[in-house]
Amino acid sequence: MALPYSEKVIEYFRNPKNVGEIDDADAIATEGSPACGDMVKLFLKGQWLIKETQCGARE
């Protein structure tokens, strides 16, 4: 039975990129649901720009 994923998705699944932890990260965020095991931990290092926007209803 053929998988419903493209070859590119399968390639990234089999050979993930940018995986691991940064020891001296500037920021760390954890999100998800430990009950079902869907967790992600994001490590950020370097210079980055965050643009904040507001909901139109709040203006």
> Cβ-count burial of 13 within 10 angstroms (0-12 exposed, 13-18 middle, 19+ buried)?
exposed
Cβ atoms of residues 42 and 28 within 8 Å: yes
Give all strands (DSSP E) within the chain, no chain letters. 27-33, 38-44
**What is the number of alpha carbons within 13 Å of residue 48 lying toward its C-beta?**
10
Residue spans per domain, the chain: 19-46
Cβ atoms of residues 44 and 26 within 8 Å: yes
Reading the chain (59 residues) residue by residue, the pLDDT tens digits are 677 899 999 999 899 988 889 999 999 999 988 788 788 899 988 876 667 766 665 55
